[in-house]
Amino acid sequence: MARDYYEALGVPRDAGTEEIQQAYRKLARKYHPDVNKDPTAEDLFKEANEAYQVLSDPDTRKRYDRFGADFRHVPDDYDERVRASAGRYGGGGGRRVHFRHGVGGEGGVDFEDLFGQMFGGGGGYGPIPGADQEAELELTLEEAYRGGKRTLRLDGRQYDVDIPAGVLDGQRIRLAGQGGRSNGDAPPGDLYLVVRIKPHSRFRVQGRDIYVDLPVSPWEAVLGSTVVVPTPGGEAKVKVVPGSSTGRKLRLRGEGMPNPRGANGNLYAEIKVMVPPKPTARERELFQQLATESNFDPRKET
């Protein structure tokens, strides 16, 4: 972790959930590598995202506030182990626990000293389970839509990941036993991959529904037509109803994100009436004729 999470988001330590969310969204819009081409933008985006993932979860935030940068390495039963160790050392022997990178810890020993003397190496208090770990898995919309297999490397280790079709942004993929290493015969932790779907140049995702702009010509909008619309799964055809205006949405049922536990999302094609940017002389003549003969006024209520 490069910086304190609160500092990374630019919020105070007593910030509420909404303030944290607003700060993250502002930074995400500013530093997303698809928008900001500065070489440092991607690192700042990842830093803000990591901070948000921790501070937006109440339980994880409490652990971070208590243990600081080492919070991922603290066993879930830490308090029980401390109490047991205190009994072992005759009520603690005046020792105080200090977390080197902690937010509110007191002076004393650091984690390595604490865990080494209390829980490891011949102390007789049993093995320590591995800590769960978390990392981001960035996918294109098409990859999230189709699912499949992906091989990735994290900290020098290689992982084979099965991506379920229709996985959504923010969902977690669990790799059992692939997290932090354990002590002794205890089980290792799990690795959770948090899915991040990259912004798409054409599609917008809301829940399991997908939205796409559908450009149509003035005559297609007026007279109606059957046109091709793109979907993440390939092209589909849709009927443009005569008299369609910009903003009208055409629904393609089940063409949104797949849902392994229920109905698929829908795809909505939003009509955008486009005019020729450089009309020919004949086109200008026809549009002028239409303007002369038509009584339609789009600024009056119909």
Fold match, 5-78 / 203-277: no
Crossing angle of helices 41-55/17-31, nearest 10°?
160
Tell me the per-residue pLDDT of 44-77, one tens digit each, with 9 for 90 and over: 888 888 899 999 988 889 888 877 777 777 767 6
Tally of CB atoms within 10 A around 299: 4
pLDDT band at 105 (very low <50, low <70, confident <90, very high): very low
Q: What pLDDT is attached to residue 80?
A: 67
pLDDT at 94 over 80: no
Phi, psi angles (nearest 5°) of residue 126:
85, 165
Tally of CB atoms within 10 A around 113: 14
- Nearest-angstrom CA–CA distance, 169 and 193: 11
- Nearest-angstrom CA–CA distance, 115 and 112: 5
- Nearest-angstrom CA–CA distance, 43 and 133: 20
Specify the higher pLDDT residue, 191 or 92. 191
Domain formed by 133-197, architecture: Sandwich (2.60)
H/E element holding 292? helix 281-293
Task: Return left, alpha or beta for 155; rule: phi > 0 is left, psi -120 to 50 is alpha, else beta.
Answer: left
- Nearest-angstrom CA–CA distance, 44 and 22: 16
Q: Please name which of 69, 65, 90, 67 lies closest in space to residue 79, comparing C-alpha atoms.
A: 67
- Nearest-angstrom CA–CA distance, 271 and 244: 8
| Structural domain spans, the chain | 5-78, 133-197, 203-277
Q: What pLDDT is attached to residue 78?
A: 66
Rg (CA), the chain: 28
Phi, psi angles (nearest 5°) of residue 274:
-110, 145
Query: Which range among 96-105, 112-121, 182-191 shows the weakest confidence by mean pLDDT?
Result: 96-105
pLDDT at 153 over 60: yes
What is the residue type of 122? G
Specify the higher pLDDT residue, 209 or 154. 209
Q: Looking at domain 203-277, does it have CATH number 2.130.10.10?
A: no
pLDDT band at 149 (very low <50, low <70, confident <90, very high): very high
For range 277-302, the mean pLDDT: 90
For range 238-244, the mean pLDDT: 95
- Nearest-angstrom CA–CA distance, 302 and 300: 6
Q: What pLDDT is attached to residue 165?
A: 94
The CATH number of the structural domain formed by 5-78 is 1.10.287.110
Tell me the per-residue pLDDT of 261-287, one tens digit each, with 9 for 90 and over: 889 999 999 999 999 999 999 999 999
Q: Which residues contact 198 (CB under 8 A, 6 or more apart)?
A: 34, 138, 139, 140, 141
For range 132-144, the mean pLDDT: 92
Q: What are the tokens at 19?
A: 């303030």
For range 203-217, the mean pLDDT: 95
Query: Which range among 75-89, 98-112, 242-256, 280-294 shows the weakest confidence by mean pLDDT?
Result: 98-112
